[in-house]
Amino acid sequence: MSRNNDVFQILVGKTQDAILAAGNYPKDLLPGQVGIFDAKTNVSLDETATPTEFYIGVGIDSDGDGVTDNIAKSAGQYIQTAGVVDLSVRSYNQAIPAIIEIAGYEAVCNTDYALRVEYRNEEIYKRQGTVGFTKTYAFTIESNCPDCICDNNEITIALVNAVNADVANGYGIAYAIAKDALNNGVLTGLSKSYAVGDVISLEDVAVVAAYNKANDTTLETAVRIQSLPLTKKDFSSIKMEYYYLRSTVIIASKAVGFGTETTVTTIQVPVNEGGSGYDVKQKEYIAGGWNGNPGAYRQNAVTGLAKEILYQADFATQYCIFSLTYDQKSLSGWGEYENNLATIICIPMTLTTAIAKLKTVLGGILGITVTEEGLPVADAGTDGAVTTAANADFTVSDAKSGVATGKTAISTTWELVSQPATADVKITDGDTLTPTFGFFTVDGTYTFKLTVVDSDGFSSTDTVDVVATH
């Protein structure tokens, strides 16, 4: 039996970090508070209840006076416990861009170069179908004298500039990274030292190129191109340009000038965002066709203008999504009927108590243990401190990651989230569970984030604080 067209309702929790306690009634719901009720008595339930029929409600403040004046209910008259098909829970999943790296190229003076990059996303598929969207980034490494030396890092500068000149109309942005350790104590003019893999400014790439020419060295940089997500636009009524899959895939190929020694490597696969307020609002819009908000017709028949929709989801909020699917059987006349229904409950990720309690109560009523199966696990380890001397290193020793059975971890990445003003820091081995953070130039707290992505494209994050004291 197909379940790809369930009639569904969206229930959005807001600021109440608790679901309605047992023994209350729908009128007791606070604005944005979720409650589960016995369909026969209208009394709120806890995990010890065993109702045959129940419903889920959330308080609605329609006029913004802080008082509940309406109740949004789950799809259908009620939920038959025996008819529940599935309950899934999934926390907010952040978007991760695609990243490719171009490295190992050789600069030849007065030579043309071109890199062909194909971008794929839902917007492109909608506009062009199977006809790909391809950009060719071309440039020339020029020399004004026959005996001049051209350095490979000049390709880095030219390629980054070529890609970024088209950022306004494209789907990717480029930056340079160090392929060798670069010490500003050795390379005069370098703004700071760089570890392998650090992002390096084009001004410092030019310093490296000049140093190579003057000293007959081969210090290298490379170019990474990172995909840009499709823009999310807030809306108050009909959203005509909504895209659910907003990540962009990058496929690059060498066109002109780049020899066999040049490599094009996928550093990071893209992951689509899940559980954003932007997506929840779109679900509210769809559900409004059968729940009366605004009704079956989204436009006014007289004026042709969009009807206003009372959205409960916040555009910028990240949600934990409870998806409950169920069948409702009923008798009418001489016939027996079965309707496919679903209710999606969206709780802000900040309301951890409400999320945990909703798992417990629904699990108790349905006689199951509610878990978020399939999501990877990220544990950034214990907070540490750097207290020995200026510029000391801190190595993470107890970070952990995990994925569900049958899946594999496809990427483990660290990034700096926050640091004291004017501080500088570097990350070494940032694609492992044992990175080294160093170059702490200012006293204070440095926050690093670990992101683990599994083979299904789902991610998990965790942070660790390092306190530097010189």
Residue 299, classed as helix, strand or coil, is strand
Q: What is the mean pLDDT of the chain?
A: 89
Q: Is the bond into 294 cis (omega within 30 degrees of 0)?
A: yes
> From CA 297, how far away is CA 290, in angstroms rounded?
10
Chain position carrying tokens 């409400």: 354
Residue 34, classed as helix, strand or coil, is strand
Is the pLDDT at 407 greater than 80? The verdict is no
The percentage of the chain sitting over the pLDDT mark of 70, rounded to a whole number, equals 96
Task: Classify each residue of 52-89 as buried b or exposed e, where b means 16 or more C-beta atoms within 10 Å of its C-beta.
Answer: ebbbbbbbbbeeeeeebeebbbbbbebbbbebbeebeb
What's 377-468's CATH class?
mainly beta
- DSSP for 133-179 reads EEEEEEEEE--SSTTPPPPTHHHHHHHHHHHHTTGGGSSEEEEEEES
Q: Do you know the residue count of the chain? A: 470
**What pLDDT sits at residue 391?**
65
R_g (Cα) of the chain, nearest Å: 28
Task: List the structure tokens of 112.
Answer: 């043309």
Task: Classify each residue of 105-127 as buried b or exposed e, where b means 16 or more C-beta atoms within 10 Å of its C-beta.
Answer: bebebebebbbebebbbbbbeee
Please give the span between the terminal C-alpha atoms of the chain, in angstroms, as a whole number.
Answer: 66
**What pLDDT sits at residue 178?**
94
**What pLDDT sits at residue 435?**
92
Which one has a higher pLDDT value, 258 or 305?
A: 258
Mean pLDDT of all residues in 67-81: 94
* Beta-sheet pairing, 263-268 with 377-379: unpaired
134 within 8 A of 120, measured Cβ to Cβ: no
Name the pLDDT band for 177 (thresholds 50, 70, 90).
very high
Helices 153-164, 202-215: crossing angle, 10 deg rounding: 160
Q: Tell me: the pLDDT tens digits for 438-455?
A: 888 788 888 999 988 877
Task: List the structure tokens of 464.
Answer: 């660790």
459 within 8 A of 467, measured Cβ to Cβ: no
Domain locations in the chain? 7-92+276-366, 99-268, 377-468
Q: CA–CA distance from 48 to each of 26, 51, 81, 86, 195 (Å)?
A: 19, 10, 14, 20, 57
Name the pLDDT band for 1 (thresholds 50, 70, 90).
very low
Residue 390, classed as helix, strand or coil, is coil
Chain position carrying tokens 């109309």: 169
Secondary structure of the chain: what % helix, strand, coil (to 5)?
15, 35, 50
**What pLDDT sits at residue 2?**
53
The percentage of the chain sitting over the pLDDT mark of 90, rounded to a whole number, equals 52
Is the pLDDT at 282 greater than 60? The verdict is yes
Residue 45: φ, ψ to 5°: -115, 160
> From CA 265, how far away is CA 286, in angstroms rounded?
40
